[in-house]
């Protein structure tokens, strides 16, 4: 798994790429929690996720809960088909705010 953090219109956009699995999810968790900890809106670009397992989903859940606790916005953006299937299996597809694209996410914010 690779990750990239950039700032776009005041929002931290984290792009996760590749396999988010038992080996890489601790890194994903650290990155997500650090961004969320900055008290800012965080979008996770999931378009390039090739695989995600329960540990990866758990990292997203933890970051989401942490953001909510701090009153910050946390959304998943452009979720790849594979990742969406896993979120559906976990019945989390209706719990996470999910947007088809980054623009949609910003539009929703406006």
Partner 1 sequence: MDINDAVSEERGTRLTQGLGLLADMGRDFADTRDIEGTLTRALTRITEYLDSEGGALFLLEDEGRILRCHASVGVIRIDGLTLPFDHGVVGNVVLTSQARIVRDVTSDPNFDNTVDNRTGFSTRSILCAPMSIKDECIGAIEVINKRGRDGRFEPADLALLEILCSSAAMALLNARLTASLVEQERVRREIELAAEIQRNLLPAALASDFPLFGLNIPARSVSGDFYDYFTLADGRIAWCLGDVSGKGINAALLMAKTASLYRCLGKTETSPRHLLARINDEICETATRGMFVTLVGGIYDPVADKVCFANAGHEPPLYHARDGSFREFEAAAPPLGILAVGDDTKMFPEIELSLKGGAFYVFTDGVTEGALASGEPLGAEGVRQALRDNAKLPLNDRIATIARLLDRDDGALHDDITLLGIDAARPAGTPSDEEQADLPFLYRFAARAELLQGARNAVRDYLTKKGAAENDANDVVLAIDEACQNVIRHAYCGMEAGDIVLEMALAGSHLIVDVRDFAPEIDDITLAPRKLDETRPGGLGTHFMREIMDEVAFLRPSDGIGNLLRMMKQIPVSPVVTKL
For partner 1, which is the closer residue by CB, 37 or 58? 58
Q: Which residues contact partner 1 by CB under 8 A? A: 19, 21-23, 51, 53-55, 57-59, 61-62, 64-65, 82, 85-86, 89-92, 95
CB of 75 to partner 1, least distance (A): 16
For partner 1, which is the closer residue by CB, 48 or 92? 92
Cβ-based neighbours of 74, under 8 Å, separated by 6 or more: 36, 41, 42, 44, 63, 64, 67, 68, 97
For partner 1, which is the closer residue by CB, 34 or 61? 61
CA-closest candidate to residue 43, choices 22, 63, 17, 18: 63
């Amino acid at each position: 798994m690779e990750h990239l953090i950039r700032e776009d219109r005041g929002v931290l956009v984290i792009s996760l790429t590749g396999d988010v699995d038992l080996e890489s999810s601790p890194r994903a968790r650290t990155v997500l929690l650090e961004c969320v900890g900055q008290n800012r809106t965080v979008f996770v670009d999931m378009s390039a996720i090739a695989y995600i397992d329960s540990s990866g989903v758990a990292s997203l859940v933890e970051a989401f809960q942490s953001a909510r606790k701090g009153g910050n916005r946390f959304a998943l953006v452009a979720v790849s088909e594979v990742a969406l299937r896993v979120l559906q299996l976990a019945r989390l597809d209706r719990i996470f705010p999910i947007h088809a694209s980054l623009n949609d996410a910003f539009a929703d914010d406006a």
